Structure formats: C-alpha cells, structure tokens
Structure 1
Amino acid sequence: MTDPESAVTDPESDSAGPGRGPAGPGGGPADRYTVISADCHAGADLLDYKPYLESEHHDDFDAWAATYVNPYEDLVADTADRNWNSARRLADLEADGIVAEVVFPNTIPPFFPSASLMAPAPSRAEYEQRWAGLRAHNRWLADFCEAAPGRRAGVAQILLNDPAEAAREVRRTKEAGLTGGILLPGAPPGSGVPELHSPAYDPLWAVCAELDVPVNHHGGSASPPLGDEPAARAVFMVETTWFSHRALWHLIFGGAFRRHPGLRLVLTEQGSGWIPGIMEMLDYYHGRLVASAARAATAESKFGAGLAGSMGASPSAVWRDNCYVGASFMRPHEFPLRDRIGLDKIMWGSDYPHDEGTAPYSREGLRIAYAGLPPAEIAAMTGGNAARVYGFDLAGLDRVAAVVGPTVEEIAEPLKEVPAGATSPAFAPGGSVRVW
C-alpha cells in the first residue's frame, strides 16, 4: 500500500523501526493505539455502478435498475451514503478512533436480487450478468480505495461456478490494487456449486497462494434459505455462524492447505470464542479417523481412508500456520481464550456502517473488551495483526493514529456504563458481556 493520506493534519513524527512509529504499545504512537477495523462494509450507490460495467451490459442494466426495489432500509435511508461517500466515511472512522479499514461489500451489485453476501449461487442463465455485476463492484472498489491511499484494503468479490474464471479475477483485482483479498462465497447444501472441500477449487487456491491473497469468509454468507417465518428467523440466528464456520473444516479436510501451503484463510464476523473447542474437535476426528484407517477393516475405517495423505498436517497445525479470525467486536468472554486462539491471529473490527457495529462508540467497545489487558496485546489485536495480514503500512498509519487514535489510558479504563445509543451486540447485556 502507498503511504496513508489523512483527513487530519499529520504531526511531524519519525518512525522507530520498520513499519512502526515511536515507542508505544507494540511500537506504535507513544500513547495511542493504531486501530485498523478488519470488518467494514461499503459499495456504490446503485446507478453509480453503470460506468464500471462493460458497455454490452448497459442496456440490460438500465432495464434492471428501472424496476429494482432495494429490500434493505439502511441502503435507502439518508445515511446510506456512508457506503460510498469517501470524505464522510474517513471523518466517521477517525471520529471513532479508527485509521484504516478492510472493506467488505454491502450494497447491491448490478443484476443481483439482494446484497451479494447473502445472494444464492447464480443459475447458468444468471451467471454472465452476475459476474459482470461483481466485476463492476471490484472496479468501483479499486477507485474507492485509491481515494484514501493506504487507508483501505478492499475485498474483491468472485463467483465459484468457474474456479478458473475466479482465479483470473483474483489476478486482475490484485493488479488493480485491491489488497484485502477475496470474499469466498458460501456453498451451503443445495447451492448448485461443489462443496468447498472439493479439489475443483484448486485453480483458485493456487493463485491466492501464489499472489499472497487472503481468502476471507464472512459470517452470514453461507446459510441455506430457511424462509421468513418467526421460527425460521430464529433458527437462522442460531445456525448462521455455524454454516460460516464450515469453510474451515472443508478446506482443512479437503487438503487445500497441504496442496497450497501459502494459502491464508480469514474467518470474519463469526466471533472467536468457538475456535479452541472446534480445533480440539477437529483434531480428535482427524486422529481418530487416521488411526481407524490404519487398522483392519472396520465399520469406521472407510471414513478415514486416505485422509492422512490427502490433508497432511493436523487441523490445529493448519490453524497455526494458515488461518486468522476477524473477530469483529470481541466479547469479554472471548479474550481469556486469546492465547489458545493465537494472539497473532485475532483482528478487531467495528462492522461500520452496520447498525450492529460499534460505531460511533468503538472506543467504548474496545474498553468493554480489552480494559486491563497488556497494551502490546491490545495493539496486536486492534491493528498490528490486520496490518500484517492485509499489508497496511503501520508507520504511515501511526502518524494518523497519533492524532485520532484512542489513548492507552482511555482503553485501560473499564467501561462502567453502556452508551445509551449503542446498538451493537458488543454491548448486549448478559453473561457474555462484562461491564464494570
């Protein structure tokens, strides 16, 4: 990334050491944290996508847009421009103590019935137009990131119907300057595309490993349709993170990391407290199935046949070497698990501009999660890890954080009262949240 340009006036400051500022927590600003949100969302206003479409799609776009009714209230509200108004967005994030962001999609790309994060895999008839819509978003996103150099890592969108075509888009978006990696769509049962453990996706994994492109799998993107009844909505809330977790064991047991050891997987907005238990479970099944395959034929031996050779290292070793978690706003019950998750794996996010995000109370969100922890650990989870995964220049961002970042003293102070206007689950009452 190029050196960050800030909407604030940078102080005169020299960096001390590669990629960090003067001596502070983790080497950053002396008394402030350099906060990078590893989970934000953006997209163009609907009609603004047209110039980014290939010309042969313009007439079809006009016809589609003329009758399209946006199903999301937040995308037609007077605050919707937070998704595409670069100056407003920088100001909002800086006011919230955040100096850079990883940008996932949010608005409706051309020819999609709903936000692409939730849209099902396209049919053969829809495929060409849907691809054109995602390429238009990726082109727009490259320009949006360029409007704030060094401050945004844009996550490109792909489809899974043709892994070779997806691999070509990875190369194109990397060359276009998108540094956030790709958004891996979900492949729930009935999606019409192979399950994620399939070797059919090897062309995609190969180019991501070659180009050091993170593969991001975002919460909410892998659930099958359940309907809109009250029970269905409740079941969705219970199951949606589980369906998003599935990408982890699909890629591990499918051997993607053995065949492509440079592949990196980031699981975003799925929490983090589940990881130690899941890794123990995966290690258990791995050991059990590999052992059963080495014994004389039994009812279970066929389940482990070939597994040791196809997947290589144990699941916990794959997690250690290849995986990260965009934990978004961590709950207090999660941070005691940080050593078991891996302190170098955890990235905080505000989920801006979503209602469930911590904005404009991200400082309070950081306090409710991290007060009392060692500053160097806080610095890693709130910025250092994201900088390493997504290639942010911390030295440049430190100069911005020296003006707008939350202070070490501020985050050390336990939160005594939840802000009245806070809507994020980070502040939800109950046993999972600690408020002093």
Structure 2
Amino acid sequence: MTPPGPTPPERYTVVSADCHAGADLLDYRPYLPSSRHEEFDAWAASYVNPFTDLMAPEAARNWDSDRRLAELEQDGIVAEVVFPNTVPPFFPSASLSAVQPTAEEYDLRWAGLQAHNRWMVDFCAQAPGRRAGTFQILLNDVDAAVAEVRRCHAAGLTGGLLLPGVPPGSPVPELWSDVYEPLWAVCAELGVPVNHHAGSASPELREEPAARAVFMVETTWFSHRALWHLAFAGVFQRHPQLRLVLTEQGSGWIPGVLDMLEYYHRRLVGAAASSGSAARAATAESKFGAGLAELTGDGPSAAWERNCFVGASFMRSHEVPLRDRIGLDKIMWGSDFPHDEGTYPYTTEALRVAFAGVPYDEVAAMVGGNAARVYGFDLPALDALAAKVGPLVDDIARPLTETPPGATSPAFAKGSSVRVW
C-alpha cells in the first residue's frame, strides 16, 4: 500500500509577479546628481500630475513601505516584483508608457530613470527578501544601458531589467536589431531577467473614444511583439540562459501565437531551403527565410520552452485550463497592486475565480513558486510568513459565487471568461 503523501500547507505562499511603485515627485531630487537639481526644480514646479491614482491619499501606497507591506499582507501577499508607477524626473508621464526619447531629450530622461533606479534600491532594502525591484534603461545608448544593468544588478535589484518598447515611429532601432546584442549578452551573463510589461510598446494614446478602444485592443499585442522580435533575431538561440518575462499581457494568447510563429518559421525556413535545392524551384518567399534557420535553430516554440515566462496578472478562469499548453512552470500570477485594475483588497476572491478546483501543487507553483524561482526569492523564508497571512488553501478551492461589492479588477468583470488571444 502506497503511503500517503505529505499534507499540503494550510495556506498558499503568494508572490505577486506584477506590482508597481515609485517615489513621490519631489523625493526623486536627492537621487539626481547635484548638477541636475536646478533643472529638476524648474521641471517639478511646472509639472501637473494627470493621474488620479497618484493623488492623495491612495498615492502613498507607491512609496510608503510600511503601509504597502501591511496592505499586501492583509491581502495575503508576502512578496512582490516591483515595476515602476510614478513619474520620474523630466518625464511627461509615467516612464512605463513613455516612448523612447529623441536625441535632444535623452540626457535629461536618462538622468531621471537612473534616479528612479537608485530610489528603487533603497525602497527594496526597506523590506529585505520581499521585493524584487526592476530597473529601467533607455535604448538610445546601448553602452550606457549595459553599464546600468551591471550597476543595478550589483546593487541588488533582483527583479531585473524592464525592457522598453519600440513602437512604430520610435527614434531607436526595432528590438530585432543586432545593435542590442551587448544588452542580451550582459543579461544572460548575469542571470538578469528581461521583463517586458504591457503598455510599454504601444504608440501614444489619443483621447478620442475610438482611440481609447483601439488602444485596449492593441496594447497587449504591441507588447507581445518582443517575443517574435527576439525569437526571429536568434537572441534565444545565442543566449540559451536568457530569461524573457512578458507581464500583464494576459496568457490565453500564448498557445495560438506559438502555433502561428511555428507556422511562419517552418514556412520561411522551408522556402529558403528550396532555393538551394537543384531538385526544387525556389519559391517567391525564399528571400524572406534566407538565413533564418541559422539564426533561430530549433525555432520559436523551443525558445519559449527554454527561455520565456509570463507574468499572468489576475489570471482569468478561461486561461487556467491552458496552463499545460502555456507551461505550468512558466506562469506567475500577479495582483497589479496598487492599480485600480488590481485585485486588492480582494485577492483571495480573485484567486478563487481563477483556481478553484485546480490541484494544490499547481496553484502553489502559479501563485508563488515559479516567481520565487525566476526572481530569486527565498521560498522557505516566505513560507514562514505565509503561514500567518497567506490565503487559505481550502478557501481558494471553493468557486466564487458572488463578486465582492466594490471590486474593480477585470478578474471579476462580466465577460472575463471569454477567450482573448
């Protein structure tokens, strides 16, 4: 008779792979070189904040470490990967969604991002072992970006690099360009995750109703582009240790997109092969696949399996049955704290929507174990805290029958069970 396995813990250890923070505007000043203080004072005096979630009293969640820890623990979350949220010096808006600067804008914007990175080091140090802070770069100067990767890695920002987007019309090359090879090389060398967050690759949003709707339809698609840019550029083939994390872009699209990328890979590689065969005539497509086989090796699906992960913020119930096709070991749940679309203060309810009826080991991997592995959290240490504040396993096992009043996360929205690829 086979002896029973170990009894699962009473509570889950939840690590949010998608949270946001930043300094209050004037608090960035000490993190700038003194030579920039006069320019900063002039910029800060004229800046008008357009973001309601950065206004008091909720804004303090971005930088008040004690309040933040208390609210996350209240919500059952014991650790977080921290992306930017507030407006860094010399930016017109939040840096996550800002387009790459022009040559004239670069120096000031770069000083502002480096100030944010220095602030992030101190912010994470206020909660040792519980925050994996990401750091930002610009793509205008690759050598400067590589130096910043080394500096931030050495300073302890374990959340890794936040890769900027390159929407159409950007003043820098597309992500497939070989000019970025030193960036991929240093991240692979140091084991630094490369994160690409939704909203960072879209063209600028206009205010017309149609523009806002089109933005919502396209914003995740623009962020998905990093996957096929790097795959077809051979980045994953040259750097098998590189890790790419696609965050807050959904996850239900992944199986279909991988099928599509595999189709094009086979089609183009096959067309190129035909051009070199005496037995077959070259097709009109052969030039599009020339050199692709040598660049990409075993293809996009293999690159996904080896190199890629998904920060699956407030995972929807229709996405969970796809976990084996996505890769159970690749899915990292996120709360998107402190955004309005985040699950706070109803994370337990959101987890019930997604994971009721799913085996314990699988839920434990998706809500904490995978993120701990990718971002270097000490999972046993977090388990001890989760034993006091984590959501109860028995609670998550029960389907949610009624949406909490006041819940604003799309995890609870009507239609959230409809597949969106």
Percent of aligned pairs with the same amino acid: 73
Aligned-partner residue type, residue 193 of structure 1: V
Does structure 1 residue 367 correspond to structure 2 residue 346?
no
CA deviation profile, 1:113-151 (whole Å, cap 9, x unmatched) = 000011111111111111110110001000000000000
* Paired residue type of 2:197: H
What CA distance in whole angstroms lies between the structure 2 residues aligned with 1:403 and 1:371? Answer: 21
Matched, 1:299 2:284: yes
Answer yes or no: is the 8 Å Cα contact 1:183–1:215 preserved in 2.
Answer: yes
Aligned to 1:58: 37
Partner of 2:279: none
Structure 1 counterpart of 2:296, which letter?
A: M
Aligned to 2:106: 127
Aligned 1:81-160 pairs, distance under 5 A: 81-160=60-139
Does residue 257 in structure 1 map to residue 242 in structure 2? no
Kept after mapping to 2: 8 A contact 1:427/1:433:
no
Alignment correspondent of 2:11:
32
Equivalent AA in structure 2 for residue 189 of structure 1: P
Q: Which amino acid letter does the alignment assign opposite residue 347 of structure 1?
A: M
Distance in 2 (alpha carbons) for counterparts of 1:315 and 1:391? 26
Which of 156, 168, 173 in structure 2 is aligned with 1:177? 156
Secondary structure class of the residue paired with 1:186: coil
Q: Give the superposed CA RMSD.
A: 1.3
**Contact 1:343-1:381 at 8 Å conserved across structures:** yes
Aligned to 2:383: 398
Residue 168 (structure 1) aligned with residue 153 (structure 2): no
Contact 2:316 2:416 in 1 (8 A): no
1:343 to 328, 339, 356: 328
- Residue 222, structure 1, aligned to residue 207, structure 2: no
> 1:24·1:32 contact (CA, 8 Å) conserved in 2?
no
Where 1:430 maps in the other structure, the secondary structure is: coil
Report SS of the residue matched to 1:360.
coil
The one-letter code sitting in structure 2 at the alignment partner of 1:114 is S
Equivalent pair of 1:331/1:433 in contact (CA under 8 Å): no
How far apart, in 1, do the equivalents of 2:181 and 2:35 lie? 31
Q: Counterparts of 1:424 and 1:54 in 2: how far apart (Å)? A: 39
Q: Residues of 1 paired with 2:133 and 2:7: CA distance? A: 28
* CA distance in 2: counterparts of 1:396 and 1:261, whole angstroms: 30
Conserved? CA contact 1:426–1:433, under 8 Å: no
Tell me the distance in 2 between the aligned counterparts of 1:110 and 1:419. 38
Whole-angstrom CA distance in 2 between matches of 1:431 and 1:62: 45
**Is the Cα–Cα contact under 8 Å of residues 80 and 131 in structure 2 kept in the other structure?**
yes
2:283 and 2:144 map into 1 onto residues whose CA distance is: 42
Matching of residue 385 in structure 1 with residue 364 in structure 2: no
Q: What CA distance in whole angstroms lies between the structure 1 residues aligned with 2:325 and 2:36?
A: 50
What do the CA deviations read for 1:264-299 (whole angstroms, capped 9, x no partner)?
100000000000000011001001100000113321
Instruction: State the AA in 2 paired with 1:107.
Output: T
CA positional deviation for 1:389: 0.2
Match of 1:312 in 2: 297
1:201 CA drift (Å): 0.4
Structure 2 CA distance, aligned partners of 1:383 and 1:430? 27
Q: Distance in 1 between matches of 2:396 and 2:238?
A: 42
Letter in 2 for 1:110: P
Matched, 1:234 2:204: no
C-alpha displacement at 1:74, in angstroms? 1.1
Deviation at 1:110, TM superposition (A): 0.3
Q: Distance in 2 between matches of 1:103 and 1:164?
A: 25
- Could you tell me the TM-score, scaled by structure 2's length? 0.96
**Number of residue pairs matched by the alignment:** 409
Once the two structures are superposed, residues 321-361 of structure 1 have per-residue CA deviations (whole angstroms, 9 ceiling, x without a partner) of 00000011111110110000000000000000000000000
* Uncovered stretches (5+) of structure 1, i.e. residues with no partner: 1-21
Q: CA deviation at 1:430?
A: 2.2
